[in-house]
């Protein structure tokens, strides 16, 4: 039986890709009985009925599984933030980074709409880029409008399943369109959609770009830290984690403990203050979270 990859799920059909061909498949009845839902990104064994239709017979073991968007085997999350409109927020970026780190998905930071900045604003964003790079992240500055940074982004897509995550309006669809001319994904250009510019991205689909597969989704539906325990938060900040090697006490949460490597690193200017402040805010949020039963 042939093996392929589900690249699209729509109205009960799974579209399985193999050797340049898309086969429209139904799930085998046994999936429903066992409450197994094939996901986009699944590697599957299928049976072709004819050249266009078939059945998914078996789902290969998953490396991971996102709930929203529902995608399996995600290698990388491309966190798309605009330099402006909406304005760049390190708070929101750090929130996304924590969630991605917690899910053990490789992040890549992409800052769009660089063409809209003046020199001062540009310098500010470049400064952030430098700081996030020294925290250990890849950062790419782009403009879909002016074709900036796209060639730098492409190699990162190769042989991976990437999920584009980010607020509505930051330019995710525009970026994909620019990366693959002819794609023509709808963008939130309100003027051309009679004001119905929102939620233009609906079903989950993987698109082939730069020798990789990419999902254009609205990203995380919830940005809450429901699963994260206070002790785990440091590990979602690789730069804090590194600095915490110098904490005197095991289990140091870097709040009021003495001889804290993280606080030292902030004082010595090794760690940006805002990263540490976001850590403290998130820690507080996690501690105040209502217990789950």
Ligand X SMILES: Nc1nc2c(ncn2[C@@H]2O[C@H](COP(=O)(O)OP(=O)(O)O)[C@@H](O)[C@H]2O)c(=O)[nH]1
Chain residues in the site for Mg ion (CB under 5 A): 172-173, 201
Q: Are strands 3-10 and 13-18 parallel, antiparallel or unpaired?
A: antiparallel
Site for Zn ion in 232-251 (CB under 5 A): 247
Which of Mg ion, ligand X, Zn ion, none does residue 169 bind to, with CB < 5 to 8 Å depending on kind? ligand X
Query: Residue 260, class by beta-carbon neighbours within 10 Å (0-12 exposed, 13-18 middle, 19+ buried)?
Result: buried
Q: Which span sits near ligand X by CB under 6 A: 63-71, 101-109, 126-134, 161-169?
A: 161-169
Q: Does 121 bind ligand X (CB under 6 A)?
A: no
Smallest gap from residue 15 Cβ to Mg ion (A):
20
Site for ligand X in 175-204 (CB under 6 A): 187-189
**What residues contact residue 61 under an 8 Å CB cut-off, 6+ apart?**
none
Smallest gap from residue 206 Cβ to ligand X (A):
16
Residue count of the chain: 293
Q: Does 217 bind ligand X (CB under 6 A)?
A: no
Q: How far is residue 98's CA from residue 112's CA, in Å, rounded to a whole number?
A: 21
What burial letters (b/e) apply to 12-51, b meaning 16+ CB within 10 Å?
A: eebbbbeeeeebebbbbeebeeeeeebbbbbbbebebeee
**What residues contact residue 98 under an 8 Å CB cut-off, 6+ apart?**
225, 228, 233, 236, 237, 282
CB 46 within 8 A of CB 221: no
CA angle in degrees (0–180, nearest 5) for 177-178-182: 55
Selected binder of ligand X within 116, 150, 255, 270 (CB under 6 A): 116
Which of Zn ion, ligand X, Mg ion, none does residue 254 bind to, with CB < 5 to 8 Å depending on kind? Zn ion
Q: Which span sits near ligand X by CB under 6 A: 69-77, 103-111, 113-121, 252-260?
A: 113-121
Peptide bond into 69 cis (omega under 30): yes
Selected binder of ligand X within 28, 95, 172, 254 (CB under 6 A): 172
DSSP assignment of 177-218 equals: HHHSTT-------GGGGTT--TT---S-BEEEETTEEEEE--
Smallest gap from residue 173 Cβ to Mg ion (A):
3
Which of ligand X, Mg ion, Zn ion, none does residue 262 bind to, with CB < 5 to 8 Å depending on kind? Zn ion
Selected binder of ligand X within 27, 38, 41, 171 (CB under 6 A): 171
Smallest gap from residue 200 Cβ to ligand X (A):
7
- Output the six-digit token pair for 126: 């470049």
Q: Does 254 bind Zn ion (CB under 5 A)?
A: yes
Selected binder of ligand X within 58, 65, 75, 115 (CB under 6 A): 115
Q: How many residues bind Zn ion (CB under 5 A)?
A: 5
The half-sphere exposure of 131 on its side-chain side, counting CA atoms within 13 A, is 18
Interface residues with Zn ion (CB under 5 A)?
Answer: 247, 252, 254, 260, 262
Interface residues with ligand X (CB under 6 A)?
Answer: 112-113, 115-116, 143-145, 166, 168-174, 187-189
């Amino acid at each position: 039986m042939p093996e392929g990859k589900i690249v699209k799920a729509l109205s009960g059909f799974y579209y399985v890709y193999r050797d340049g061909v898309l086969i429209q498949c139904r799930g085998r009845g046994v999936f429903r009985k066992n409450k197994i839902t094939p996901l986009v990104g699944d590697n599957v064994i299928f049976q072709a009925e004819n050249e266009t239709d078939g059945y998914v017979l078996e789902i290969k073991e998953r490396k991971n599984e996102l709930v929203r968007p529902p995608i399996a085997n995600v290698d990388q999350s491309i966190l798309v933030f605009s330099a402006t409109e909406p304005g760049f927020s390190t708070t929101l970026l750090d929130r996304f980074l924590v969630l991605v780190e917690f899910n053990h998905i490789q992040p890549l930071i992409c800052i769009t709409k660089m063409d809209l900045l003046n020199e001062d604003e540009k310098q500010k964003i470049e400064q952030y880029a430098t700081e996030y790079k020294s925290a250990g992240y890849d950062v790419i500055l782009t403009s879909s409008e002016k074709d900036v940074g796209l060639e730098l982004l492409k190699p990162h897509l190769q042989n991976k399943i990437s999920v584009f995550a980010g607020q509505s309006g930051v330019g995710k669809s525009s970026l994909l369109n620019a990366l693959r001319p002819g794609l023509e994904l709808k963008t939130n250009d309100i003027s051309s959609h009679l004001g119905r510019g929102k939620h233009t991205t609906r079903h989950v689909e993987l698109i082939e770009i730069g020798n990789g597969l990419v999902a254009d989704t609205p990203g995380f539906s919830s940005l809450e830290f429901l699963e994260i325990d206070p002790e785990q938060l440091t590990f979602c900040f690789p730069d804090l984690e590194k600095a915490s090697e110098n904490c005197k006490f095991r289990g140091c949460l870097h709040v009021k403990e003495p001889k804290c490597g993280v606080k030292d690193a902030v004082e010595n200017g090794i760690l940006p203050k805002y990263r540490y402040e976001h850590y403290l805010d998130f820690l507080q949020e996690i501690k105040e979270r209502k217990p789950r039963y």
